[in-house]
Structure 1
């Protein structure tokens, strides 16, 4: 995305119309993954949230729409997307401060703070894999140059003791994600996301607490769609998933 003129944007409804976001007509566009990430963050009123790589703000603004009284900071390296996140927060009247920065070189205003929650949706593909997108914004979002361990380290440095890290990622990167965790984080849980019952998971949500001591656990899979196949044009999300996507409900995944 090289322009933020309204002709090159769409204004899309999320959470059943409770939230509207400007996004590039061409480029990286947020969807179900961002809302599932937001639903998995167990934030409460009065808590501070940091999203690394916030894009146009879909995930963190969906969280703020669900949790009145929470406040958030978003870090985004791409100027056009950072500008969209600021615009979306302003129009939604939600308390999001957007910082334009590389997460590996956070400015003092962010480095000097600690947060109750850090949320992230790192690029799904390593920079050296696959064929890049012709759109630079989409390519950065899907195949960023920053390795997963740098994302994890940046998040853990900003968490307060007892704070929680929540991430969403493709299932094939689960070993890489787990290997990036270190002694600073414990009570790690992984929630596989299955497209339908009986099919292998394609995504997972991960949660851990800074200083946590509980053993690692895998939750039962969260099945996104009902039925063995898509039978009609109507949506067929499972009830808990539909509630998260359309009503802004939380996903009760973690203890």
Structure 2
């Protein structure tokens, strides 16, 4: 008998899903009620990608497609590919593409063992939102899909190694991760990608950045650039009901505005 969360094909049952609006309703994503649900991180990651129509984009570990489809909604005409090792989430990503009128290829595969056809391709932009937590640093989530999305199984260095191999010359990797993993990220990038840029994401003015956006280029030779942080919330603390995003972040989340690494706020 199929689980109430899955149908007979092993995909999410309709009653196990919600449909959530992103980018001010421009994009609607079906996501599991129990399991991994995308927050603002993949939306900001997508906002940071300076892609152009006609370019090839690969999302490693695409989940239900939040980052890939936010990018496609902002920039029509991209050639979209996602890779997701959890078959139910990969099927959900394909459903989300179809229901939003987006043409996308979604491969069910471990990024460390890509299908042969993907190993022959090169991409102009690669997105990565790897699991943030190492197994020894936290208690496991009860839902296996959420646990797979949050807990690092494939080493972070492997994500970067695979991305570097799949990038076209002058192609860019874009990654969001926790700030404390920056040393690991820089170590893995060394000798593989250059022209590294870092955009810290700070919760409020005067607070330490918890997340970082990292951009690096295949064959890049420019020096490392540390940009001013993007401040996510107004005020010193949250004092009222409702959201308190800064105007710049609200524009990215609601109006599909791009994230400019050069901006000072």
1:179 aligns with 2:187: yes
Partner of 1:53: 61
2:133 aligned counterpart, secondary structure: coil
Contact kept? 2:176, 2:211, Cα under 8 Å: yes
2:228/2:262 contact within 8 Å kept: no
Shift of 1:90: 0.3
Q: Mark the runs of 5 or more structure 1 residues left unpaired by the alignment.
A: none
Match of 2:26? 18
Give the length in aligned residue pairs.
255
Which ranges in structure 2 are unaligned for 5 or more consecutive residues? 7-11
Distance 1:175 1:253 in 2: 20
Q: Is the 8 A contact 1:159 1:210 kept in 2?
A: yes
Aligned partners of 1:100, 1:50: CA distance in 2, in Å? 13
Matched, 1:140 2:148: yes
Q: Determine the structure 1 residue equivalent to 2:113.
A: 105
CA contact (8 A) 1:244 1:251 kept: yes
What secondary structure sits across from 2:253 in the alignment?
A: helix
Question: Is contact 1:114-1:160 (8 Å) kept?
Answer: yes
1-structure distance, mates of 2:177, 2:37: 16
Residue 165 of structure 1 contacts residue 207 of structure 1 at CA under 8 Å; is this kept in 2? yes
Deviation at 1:69, TM superposition (A): 1.0
Contact kept, 8 Å, 2:52 with 2:75, in 1: the verdict is yes
The residue that corresponds to 2:166 in the other structure is 158
1:32 aligns with 2:40: yes
CA drift at 1:184: 2.5
Q: Which residue of 2 aligns with 1:216?
A: 224
Q: Give the structure 2 partner of residue 233 of structure 1.
A: 241
Residues 189 and 254 in structure 1, CA contact (< 8 A), matched pair in contact too: no
Q: Normalising to structure 1: TM-score of the pair?
A: 0.97
Which residue number in structure 1 is paired with residue 257 of structure 2? 249
Give TM-score scaled by structure 2 length: 0.94
CA contact (8 A) 2:57 2:123 kept: yes
Task: Work out whether residues 199 and 213 of structure 2, in 8 Å CA contact, stay in contact via their aligned partners in 1.
Answer: yes
The Cα RMSD (Å) is 1.3
Structure 1 residue 254 displacement after superposition? 5.8
CA contact (8 A) 2:59 2:83 kept: yes
Residue deviations 1:47-106 (CA, integer Å, cap 9, x gap): 110000000001100000000111210000000100100000000011221000000000
